[in-house]
Amino acid sequence: MARKKVLVTGGAGFIGGNFVQYMVNKYPDYDIYNLDLLTYAGDLTKHKEIEKKDNYHFVKADIADRDAITALFEKEQFDYVTHFAAESHVDRSITDPEIFVVTNVLGTQVLLDASKAIGVTKFVHVSTDEVYGELDFDPTTFFTEDTPLQPNSPYSASKASSDMLVRAYHETFGLPINITRCSNNYGPYHFPEKLIPLTISRVLNDQKIPVYGDGKNIRDWLHVLDHCAAIDLVLHEGANGEVYNVGGHNERTNLEVVKTIISTLGKSEELIEFVTDRLGHDKRYAIDPTKLEALGWKPTYTFESGIAQTIQWYLDNKEWWEQIISGEYQNYFEKQYTL
């Protein structure tokens, strides 16, 4: 039987990078193609181990470059597409929204056209709970797959737009698709502009931690490897055309998250600095994962075991994040924060 070809877009980033490693190791009889533009958020140093393997391949390309993407799909005839590539940071979408539309909306449409042209077996679109907007603080309310889309940030609006295009290509052209909507991820190789790795790296350097507003906003945290297992399951078992929410019931306020990291590292809460709130800051996200659980998925990490593993990973892999925060990241940080 011919080897399956799996395209992973955004495989040099945080979640796509973890997914590429997971797939290369789990499926030696699949060829895994990592397609990435290597923006500020992408780096290949994380793939030193798998680069030696015959079933790993890298292609540098922009998903919004129609000619390059069309030619690549014609040449490789992928069986599966798992689409992670995106501009992913909400704060950057507030200061510079345009690239979010180009990459997240146009880029997705280019991939859909190329997938339709060669007739892929499955296109999995990796989306986010942020497309549903926000919940209030009533702990009995959750996002389900039927919750209406009400995105509040330019980032989530661009992701919701791409979700709608994916749905439309299924309804209009019969493209076999799934859409996954996951809650906040954390774990190894998380780019240190995001709350958890930003806090870990700054606490380790005895620097102030910027907490937006009163720190009471709630996010629902999932370890990245549990997300990878969910995508693998949906890719192989997801019912054609369906949406699956992904989350592990790990709601925490931002202040609880920051305090957990500070106490695990034995530092003082005086490092916390409350700063001006994010514009349009969503109050609370919380996922109902019942539909995915019915396919057989359940998370392996609790928040406590996952955050301990993640903190240890950042302690063991300083080289990786130090190289990131010493570069262009400094300019970003100085524009974003006055601490």
Report the candidate in 89, 220, 211, 212 with the shortest Cα–Cα distance to residue 156. Answer: 89
Contact partner, 42, from ligand DAU, ligand NAD, none, Cβ < 5-8 Å per class: ligand NAD
Between vectors from CA 208 to CA 205 and to CA 211, what angle results, nearest 5°? 130
Which residue in 273, 275, 268, 274 sits closest to 206, CA to CA? 268
How many residues form the binding site for ligand DAU (CB under 6 A)?
19
- Is 155 a known active-site residue? yes
C-beta closer to ligand NAD: residue 87 or 251: 87
Site string for ligand DAU, 189-208 (x = CB under 6 A): -----xx--x----------
Regarding 16 and contact with ligand NAD (CB under 6 A), the answer is yes
Residue 154 structure tokens? 């330019």
- State which residue has the least CB distance to ligand DAU: 128
Q: How far is the CB of 269 from ligand NAD (least distance, A)?
A: 25
Using CB under 6 A, which residues numbered 45 to 74 contact ligand NAD?
A: 62-64
What proportions of the chain, in percent to the nearest 5, are helix, strand and coil?
Answer: 45, 20, 35
- Residue 12 sits in the site that holds ligand NAD (CB under 6 A): yes
Token pair 């510079």 in the structure block, residue? 96
Establish if 92 lies at the interface with ligand DAU (CB under 6 A): no
Catalytic residue among 155, 169, 189, 301: 155
Least Å distance between CB 11 and ligand DAU? Answer: 16
- For position 131 contacting ligand DAU by CB under 6 A, the verdict is no
- Contact flag: residue 222 with ligand DAU (CB under 6 A): no
Q: Go through 16-27 and write b for each residue having 16 or more CB atoms within 10 A of its CB, e for each that does not.
A: bbbbbbbbbeee
The verdict on whether 129 is a catalytic residue reads yes
Burial string for 65-96 (b: 16+ CB within 10 Å, else e) reads: ebebbeebbeebebbbbbbbbbbbbbbbbbee
* CB nearer to ligand DAU: pick between 49 and 277: 277
Q: Counting contacts by CB under 6 A, is residue 210 touching ligand DAU?
A: yes
Short-list 76, 80, 67, 88, CA closest to 12: 88
Binding of ligand NAD at residue 178 (CB under 6 A)?
no
Catalytic-role residue among 36, 43, 79, 130: 130
Is there binding between residue 107 and ligand NAD (CB under 6 A)? Answer: yes
Segment lying near ligand NAD (by CB under 6 A), choices 82-90, 139-147, 204-212, 250-258: 82-90
Q: With CB cut-offs between 5 and 8 Å by kind, which of ligand DAU, ligand NAD, none does residue 198 bind?
A: ligand DAU
- DSSP one-letter string for 308-337: HHHHHHHHHTHHHHHHHHTTTHHHHHHHH-
Binder among 108, 109, 158, 183 for ligand DAU (CB under 6 A): 183
* Residue 18 found at the interface with ligand DAU (CB under 6 A): no
What residues have CB less than 8 Å from 197, skipping those under 6 apart?
Answer: 186, 190, 191, 314, 321
According to DSSP, the residues that pair with 252 across neighbouring strands are: 219
CA dist 169 and 162 (Å) reads 11
Instruction: Quote the Cα angle for 292-302-139, to 5°.
Output: 70
- Selecting among 31, 129, 193, 232, the annotated active-site residue is 129
Catalytic residue numbers? 129-130, 155
Binding site for ligand NAD (CB under 6 A): 9-10, 12-16, 36-39, 41-42, 62-64, 84-88, 103, 107, 126, 128, 159, 182, 184-185, 191
